[in-house]
Amino acid sequence: MGIFSLITGMPGSSGFGSSSTAEDVTHGIDATNLTVLITGGASGIGLETARVLALRRAHVIIAARNMKAANEAKRLIVEDNETARVDVLKLDLASIASIRSFVDKFNALDLPLNILINNAGIMFCPYQLSDDEIEIQFATNHLGHFLLTNLLLEKMKKTAKDTGIEGRIVNLSSIAHQYTYKGGIRFDKINDESSYSDKKAYGQSKLANILHANELSRRFQEEGVNITANSVHPGLIMTNLMKHSALLMRFLKLFSFFIWKDVPQGAATTCYVALHPNLKGVTGKYFIDCNEMPPSSVAKDQTLARNLWDFSNKLVRSASNKA
């Protein structure tokens, strides 16, 4: 898979490529027995992912900060598919209190959880701290998903054990994970404003998404748990994610239009990794255009992944103690 495949849409070894859509890669798959939770499922590729998984008969839980948008997303999905099973719950990934409240409400529904798609994110934001006083891109894109995943792990393990169905966790990363600060993750300067770069901070958070999935995968294999964890790059898609850099992106798109995707294509890799039977047992991998690809060398650093896990736990504990 290279630039030629990206431009032409030529399929890779999976049988799919950059021009494949979410409906293409899930064609013929029956997800009736699956419950899927997707963060940021109210717009963009998250909404398309939710729509297609519901189309394949999965019970979809949309977790979103904007409940008006989430309810509108549900309305659109059900309007398109009257048999769709969709629920919405409020979740602000930049708030530890909101994440804990969300998990309590989800658990109260007494549902199984087969698939967790950590899709939500923000991009190229001006320097800002979360309510828990953590740099906003790291807090939202990585730490929020880290805590959410950890709080849902026992539910996922129990579901996998009780049903015998493999659980799957999909982290949405980005090819931008290659463009980060020196050393990958700035553990000692996570909140440093003086050296803050909106682009590198985004890259750092996307690198963290891959490292998180890899460490999850290692732990699952060590425990013998029937859950996989993988990360994906959805591609370049013009969505609300780019609201802080819309003018720049539109300008760049004029000269690179041949590598951009539409939303149905952008949701394809997520849906493929979440649902396709060919990926049974495949874990700790990184996917682009529905095909496994090697991430950067720093993204494969197992020591960095373990250090990030420990650092993330310490951040959560510290923030929780302040609350």
As annotated, the active-site residues are 196
Task: Please say whether the beta carbons of 305 and 85 come within 8 A.
Answer: no
For 133, residues 6+ apart whose C-beta sits below 8 A from its C-beta are 191, 319, 322
Which is nearest to 127 in space by CA: 117, 118, 137, 119? 137
The DSSP-derived string for 225-266 is -SEEEEEEE--EE-SGGGTTSHHHHHHHHHHHGGGEE-HHHH
Helix-strand-coil split of the chain, %, nearest 5: 50, 15, 35
Question: 127 in helix, strand or coil?
Answer: coil
Strand (E) or helix (H) holding 84: none
For 107, residues 6+ apart whose C-beta sits below 8 A from its C-beta are 155
Q: How far apart are CA 91 and CA 98, in angstroms?
A: 6
